[in-house]
Amino acid sequence: MARINKQLQREIALLLEHRIKNEAVKDAIITGVECSRDLEQARVFFTAVDPDRRAALQEELQGVKGALRTLLGQVLTLRHIPALDFVPDRSVDYGERIDGILHRLGLDSLPEQGAEGGSEEETDD
């Protein structure tokens, strides 16, 4: 299943870049694909360079999903091409939020300890 998800991710990204004529969808960055076990549905996660454009980009992607599915049928050897559903990838937002929390707590600038796990200053007893 992981191999199919990766193959779908790669092919969708290539098709959006080179074969789909809608220029707006070229801004999509495909971050992952999750297919159902029966290959009936595939959730395609995407993000955009400009986070404010995600909603508009999602509408554009939903508009080309039929053509994209047809093109996938031409390039993939799967017996059945899943229906595509484009979902904004929120993991980048989540990571940025965690970084912000760590920054506010001052945990993002702690010095790293040496490979031996001790501090650089050692005392003799």
- Tell me: the pLDDT tens digits for 81-108? 999 999 998 877 787 788 888 888 887 6
pLDDT per residue as tens digits for the range 41-94: 999 999 988 888 889 999 999 999 999 999 999 999 888 999 999 999 887 778
Q: For the chain, which residues make up each domain, given as ranges? A: 2-108
Residue 92 to residues 11, 20, 46, 89, 107, Cα–Cα distance (Å): 22, 26, 10, 7, 20
CA distances from 102 to 95, 108, 114 (A): 11, 6, 21
Give pTM, 2 decimals. 0.75
CATH architecture of 2-108: 2-Layer Sandwich (3.30)
Taking alpha carbons only, the member of 15, 97, 29 closest to residue 58 is 29
